[in-house]
Copies of this chain bind each other. A is one copy, B any other.
Amino acid sequence: MAKVTMIEAINRAHAWEMTHDPTVVVLGEDIGINGGVFRATAGLQEQFGKDRVQDTPLAEGMIAGMAIGMATQGLKPVAEIQFMGFIYPALDQIANHMARMRNRTRGRLTCPVVMRMPHGGGIHAPEHHSESLEAMLAHHAGLRVVCPSSPARAYGLLLASIRDPDPVIFLEPARLYRLVKQEVADDGQALPLDVCYRLREGSDVTVVTWGAMVTETLRAADTLESEGVSCEVLDLATLSPIDHDTILESVVKTGRLVIVHEAPRNCGIGAEIAATVAEHGLYDLNAPIRRVAGYDTIMPLARLEYDYIPNAARIMDAVRETLAA
């Protein structure tokens, strides 16, 4: 089995599904001959032709809108938005149509579309290239929001997302694209959506996180282990709908909850997780919940971005404080 980076895993998932499902069509800016600015679609146009792997004119609303039209005709568009900060022009189409088409037509027309995009900061990119906007999308009923944190999950969750008969927003942590290589069987096996992945069993505190923050959290958990603290680390993976059951079960066991995300704290997905535990797991909590999140300001440019993004030190302190409470 070959060791691949996340970006390679994403590329392979595309190729697998395009080979096995002739209705899959790939769209986006610079995704053809250039293979995408991160190379996620490298080689696909050569392999599958210009009809099925299309460079589009430069307009995100157009990409989402045309994907909707194509989907209602039975195609399965997989569209790339070049960076998450550029999803805004597409939001009208995503929220007012893509998320609603099945519901508003009572199932007559549907939108099996995947909107893929790099997510988050940490790669010293220019302004507007490092946003984490998952909560904005998660708040919209009718969408699934998925975010892998390893090459294997990128492969399996992307396949599941393409196969899902409804729209999926697929967020790819840009910082993880080439960070690690992992053995990933290119066997077309999807991984389940709508569930958390338990990455580490633990008994003292539950830490829920996703995307690039998984790496920081696992690093924090390693260090904390040497201090005798046992962290249970859950990768949320599907950010909407949230697998609250798994989180609540874990909190029953640990009695403590820390949530880590890169997006701004205010009205982030961490709030939804915390709120649900405060509703359904309050009596299981032995300490206040803690959120470690991006600050409620604009994601700064490169020189300060690592002062913005939560890191292992902040996560460890939050866990320690929770344990001390």
The smallest beta-carbon distance between A142 and chain B, in angstroms, is 6
Assess whether A282 is interfacial by the CB under 8 Å rule. Answer: yes
Assess whether A245 is interfacial by the CB under 8 Å rule. Answer: no
Assess whether A7 is interfacial by the CB under 8 Å rule. Answer: no
Q: Chain B: which residue is nearest A138 at the CB level?
A: B267
The smallest beta-carbon distance between A94 and chain B, in angstroms, is 8
Q: State whether A285 and B282 are in contact (beta carbons under 8 Å apart), knowing that A92-B88, A96-B85, A142-B298 are contacts in the complex.
A: yes
A274 / chain B contacts, CB cutoff of 8 Å: 271, 274-275, 278-279
Report yes or no: B240 in contact with A267, Cβ–Cβ below 8 A: yes
The smallest beta-carbon distance between A127 and chain B, in angstroms, is 7
Residue of A128, A133, A271 contacting most chain B CB atoms (<10 Å): A271
Count of chain A residues with a beta carbon within 8 Å of a chain B beta carbon: 54
Report yes or no: A268 in contact with B298, Cβ–Cβ below 8 A: no
A288 / chain B contacts, CB cutoff of 8 Å: 278-280, 282-283
A267 / chain B contacts, CB cutoff of 8 Å: 135, 138-139, 240, 267, 269, 271-272
| Residue in B89, B92, B242, B266 whose CB lies within 8 Å of A240 | B266
Q: State whether A141 and B266 are in contact (beta carbons under 8 Å apart), knowing that A136-B136, A275-B278, A279-B291 are contacts in the complex.
A: yes
Q: State whether A104 and B127 are in contact (beta carbons under 8 Å apart), knowing that A141-B266, A267-B269 are contacts in the complex.
A: yes
- CA distance in complex: A66, B49 (Å): 41
- Known contacts A103-B298, A135-B135, A139-B263, then 12 further A-B pairs from the complex at CB < 8 Å, ordered by chain A residue: A89-B92, A241-B266, A241-B296, A242-B266, A267-B269, A275-B289, A277-B278, A278-B282, A278-B289, A282-B287, A282-B289, A283-B288
The chain A residues found within 8 Å of chain B, CB to CB, are 61, 85, 88-89, 91-92, 95-96, 99-100, 103-104, 127-128, 133, 135-136, 138-142, 240-242, 263-264, 266-280, 282-283, 285, 287-291, 295-298
